Chains A and B, each alone.
Chain A
Amino acid sequence: DAKTTQPPSMDCAEGRAANLPCNHSTISGNEYVYWYRQIHSQGPQYIIHGLKNNETNEMASLIITEDRKSSTLILPHATLRDTAVYYCIVRVAGGSQGNLIFGKGTKLSVKP
């Protein structure tokens, strides 16, 4: 079973920041937080991942709380092409338990 809780849907205005929350209150010390997204009729796409520190790449920023029980994915300037289902996944680093287990995700709708 997925170890994360996400809102089923969110709306965001084009050009504004999209902040997608994720709760993972049972996360273990050796588990990373991964974010993927899935645009309609495509396979999931890797966005970003982190362990403790905040992370940023060309796609997004990941903010992880100090207690690591929740995180937020930030798309700084959302565009219509960011409309997708966003999955937050907790994953053990290394070993045989490193499977990606998807939940239902958050359906983000970016509106003009």
Chain B
Amino acid sequence: EAGVVQSPRYKIIEKKQPVAFWCNPISGHNTLYWYLQNLGQGPELLIRYENEEAVDDSQLPKDRFSAERLKGVDSTLKIQPAELGDSAVYLCASSRRVDTEAFFGQGTRLTVV
């Protein structure tokens, strides 16, 4: 069974440019998470989906961040415009249900210059 797939693996952009990250969860997993991880810190939740519905986006900076999960499968996280402080690893995870173990992708390392 394939794991959670994220792309790209690395991304370098100039500040004020837009960027998008893509996540393909494990087949059959209804719950999808996006996390942000700064160097030396634990992952911080940005948004959680149950199927196509964003059930918890309270930590998502909505002025510049947006996410979607069309058809309840793949998901995209977008930043527009990117700032220097957005440099971090963006992790996607999925689980069969919200109360089962989550499986994480390898993440996308974003560098904003």
Please list the residues of chain A having a beta carbon within 8 angstroms of any beta carbon in chain B. Answer: 2, 34, 41-46, 49, 85, 87, 91-96, 98-105
Contact = CB atoms under 8 A, between A and B. Distances in A.
B65 interface: no
Interface of B: 4, 33, 35, 40-45, 48, 55-56, 91, 93, 97-99, 101-107
Given A100-B45, A102-B44, A93 B99 contact: yes
The majority secondary structure among interface residues of chain A is: loop
Enumerate the 6 nearest inter-chain pairs by beta-carbon distance, A residue then B residue, closest first: A43-B104, A102-B42, A98-B98, A46-B101, A94-B99, A102-B43
Contact of A42 (B42, B56, B106): B106
B53 to A, nearest CB: 11
Contacts of B103: 46
- Chain B interface mostly: loop
A81 B98 CA distance: 29
A104 B41 contact: yes
A100 B33 contact: yes
Given A43-B4, A104-B42, A105-B42, A99 B101 contact: no
Nearest to B91: A43
A94 to B, nearest CB: 4
7 contacts: A43-B93, A43-B104, A44-B43, A45-B104, A91-B99, A99-B45, A100-B45
Contacts of A42: 106-107
A43 B35 CA distance: 10
Contacts of B99: 91-95, 98
Given A43-B4, A43-B93, A98-B99, A103 B42 contact: yes
Nearest to B92: A43
Contacts of B42: 2, 85, 87, 102-105
Contacts of A43: 4, 91, 93, 104-107
Contacts of B105: 43
